[in-house]
């Protein structure tokens, strides 16, 4: 129904407008008494192994909604009905900012991909805190945080610290986003010294809290393996709890069609999957499976999800796949993972990723 009827209609409209239309429609749908409960009963497929616990936080199933979909924490309650065990809001920056000029989101239908240069459009930290106070679902909330575009890299750590402290009581885990290709110079924040400053500034805040919340680092697929090694060295030094791999890519070689006319931006969806899986696999192998990895990038269906799990990911996130495949993607993946773990309780070629 989604792919044969709804998607062809929605895909005729500008992608950013469709996003607002769909969100509004889901919000209205959710207002019908009993709908959310019925949907959750249909979509909720708990993990047969009892779920995954990372740094004390328990995820009842392995699939989450990646950052950027609910930038302003406006509809995580409603979208929990699609079976996600976690939803990552943001990227949130300290001050509101409009992001880049439009159009800034493009569909590459034949490639099952998107290119975006949104540029951290969001209503800022205070707005996100207010929105999160309206939590009325059990879904786990991740707070994905970044710096304002106008903040220099030298002052970036203060922005991350402000968002971290501000959101601390409102979210269940944090994702430190230093990998957005749409903020000029942000890739430099992944250099060891800059990254150390940012991570230590948030860890210092966490050390003062009575409850310790997991902190994950979200990395770019455009890092070299040498740069990933540097990240892994920092991982233990600062006491991170996991890595989210990956963000969107600036690479266009993974496309079979020319895409120059879209201009700059981060590519997501199917063409990204090979690189994301490669990075997940690299981190898992090099850490002997000790680093919890949240695999994201090009998971378009159950096979993509299983490939990511086989690479060693403990949790998964989807974004572009959700746009292309529709609302029951999460349910389909969870059913497939259930069958997979029943057939291969230890995970094929990998330690049981839990």
- Between 23 and 35, whose beta carbon lies closer to ligand FMN? 23
Nearest approach, Cβ of 50 to ligand FMN (angstroms)? 26
- Between 142 and 312, whose beta carbon lies closer to ligand FMN? 142
- Between 148 and 177, whose beta carbon lies closer to ligand FMN? 177
Q: How far apart are CA 135 and CA 166, in angstroms?
A: 16
Q: How far apart are CA 317 and CA 102, in angstroms?
A: 26
Q: How far is CA 294 from the centre of its chain?
A: 8
Nearest approach, Cβ of 31 to ligand FMN (angstroms)? 26
Nearest approach, Cβ of 64 to ligand FMN (angstroms)? 10
Q: How far apart are CA 338 and CA 156, in angstroms?
A: 42
| Interface contacts to ligand FMN, rule CB under 6 A | 66-68, 71, 90-91, 105, 114, 116, 118, 144, 177, 180, 218, 247-248, 268-269, 272, 296-299, 318-321
Task: Report CA-CA distances (Å) from 141 to 132, 214, 273, 317.
Answer: 9, 11, 25, 13
- Between 221 and 353, whose beta carbon lies closer to ligand FMN? 221
Nearest approach, Cβ of 288 to ligand FMN (angstroms)? 25
DSSP for 239-276 reads T--EEEE---B---TT-SS--GGG-S-EEEEGGGHHHH
Nearest approach, Cβ of 199 to ligand FMN (angstroms)? 16
- Between 168 and 319, whose beta carbon lies closer to ligand FMN? 319
Residue nearest to ligand FMN (CB): 68
Nearest approach, Cβ of 300 to ligand FMN (angstroms)? 8
In the structure encoding, which two tokens stand for residue 345, read together?
């309780």
Cβ-Cβ contacts under 8 Å for 68 (sequence gap 6 or more):
90, 91, 116, 118, 144, 319
DSSP for 38-96 reads HHHHHH----TT--EEETTEEESSSEEEPTTSSTTSSSHHHHGGG--SEEEEEEE-SS-
Nearest approach, Cβ of 182 to ligand FMN (angstroms)? 8
- Between 36 and 90, whose beta carbon lies closer to ligand FMN? 90
Task: Report CA-CA distances (Å) from 169 to 130, 135, 202.
Answer: 12, 12, 14
Q: How far is CA 350 from the centre of its chain?
A: 23
- Between 214 and 298, whose beta carbon lies closer to ligand FMN? 298
């Amino acid at each position: 129904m989604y792919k044969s009827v709804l998607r062809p209609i929605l895909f005729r409209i500008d992608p950013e407008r469709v996003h607002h239309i769909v969100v509004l429609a889901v919000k209205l749908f959710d207002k019908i008494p009993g709908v959310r409960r019925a949907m959750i009963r249909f979509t909720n497929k708990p993990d047969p192994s009892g779920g995954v616990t990372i740094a004390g936080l328990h995820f009842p199933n392995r699939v989450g909604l990646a950052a950027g979909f609910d930038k302003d924490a406006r509809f995580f309650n409603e979208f929990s009905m699609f079976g996600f065990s976690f939803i990552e809001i943001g990227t949130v920056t300290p001050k509101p900012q409009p992001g880049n000029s439009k159009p800034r989101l493009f569909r590459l239908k034949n490639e099952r991909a998107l290119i975006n240069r949104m540029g951290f459009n969001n209503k800022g930290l205070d707005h996100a805190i207010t929105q999160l106070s309206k939590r009325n679902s059990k879904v786990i909330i991740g707070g994905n945080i970044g710096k304002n575009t106008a903040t220099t890299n030298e002052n970036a750590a203060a922005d991350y610290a402000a968002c971290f402290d501000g959101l601390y009581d409102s979210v269940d885990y944090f994702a430190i986003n230093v990998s957005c290709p749409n903020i000029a110079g942000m890739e430099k924040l992944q250099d060891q010294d800059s990254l150390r400053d940012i991570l230590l500034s948030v860890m210092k805040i966490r050390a003062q809290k009575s409850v310790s919340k997991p902190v994950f680092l979200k990395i770019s697929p455009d890092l070299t393996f040498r740069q990933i090694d540097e990240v892994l060295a920092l991982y233990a030094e600062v006491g991170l709890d996991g890595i989210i791999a990956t963000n969107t890519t600036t690479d266009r070689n993974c496309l079979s069609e020319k895409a120059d006319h879209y201009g700059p931006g981060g590519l997501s969806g199917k063409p990204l999957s090979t690189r994301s899986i490669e990075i997940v696999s690299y981190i898992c192998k090099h850490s002997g499976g000790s680093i919890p990895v949240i695999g994201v990038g090009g998971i378009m269906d159950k096979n993509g999800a299983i490939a990511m799990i086989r690479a060693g990911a403990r949790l998964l996130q989807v974004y572009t796949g959700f746009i292309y495949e529709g609302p029951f993607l999460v349910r389909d993946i969870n059913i497939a993972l259930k069958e997979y773990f029943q057939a291969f309780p230890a995970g094929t070629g990998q330690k049981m990723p839990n």
